[in-house]
Amino acid sequence: MFAADGLFVYGALREGGSNHAWLQRTHPEGLTRAWVGGRLFHLPTGYPALVPGPDPAEPPPGPGWVRGDFVGYEDDDDLECALADLDALEGVAEDLFSRELLPVTLEGGQQYHAWVYVFHVERLPRLEREAVELPDGDWAAYL
């Protein structure tokens, strides 16, 4: 089991997103462009959903990568406090999203592990029927 180095956000928590202020109040140390392997969908509710997958053979950006921001915190306690706050926003207790530790590739090619709010893979058939898949993996560009 890997330790989390930070948080990966790909939707409304990203810089410029409608919930970015919520992220800022968790006092992150900084953020940088990053990618996670998987598929991205735009839900009928107006939010994105990431279904994790293996890292593609080709480095990001490109097919099979989801674009977002890697968010760093000063220490594990700050990260845990941020996650407690964000779990409520992301509906973790209601089983809307779950939080998984995934490998993240930063813009410079460095690899870390980050907490990511994801949709369960069991929901993939429903997503394929009811949501819009974003092949370029960038929700901000889609909006």
pLDDT at 10: 98
State the pTM of this model.
Answer: 0.95
Can you give the pLDDT at residue 1? 64
Q: Are strands 98-106 and 30-42 parallel, antiparallel or unpaired?
A: antiparallel
Residues of the chain with pLDDT under 70: 1
Q: Is 6-142 assigned to CATH 3.20.19.10? A: no
Contact 86, 79 (CB under 8 A): no
**Quick one: pLDDT at residue 84?**
94
- Taking the C-alpha atoms of residue 105 and residue 115, their distance in angstroms, rounded to an integer, is 13
Burial of 61 (0-12, 13-18, 19+ CB in 10 A): middle
Contact 66, 36 (CB under 8 A): yes
Question: Peptide bond preceding 61: is omega within 30 degrees of 0, i.e. cis?
Answer: yes
Angstrom CA distances, 60 to 95, 105, 107, 110, 130, stand at 30, 8, 8, 12, 27
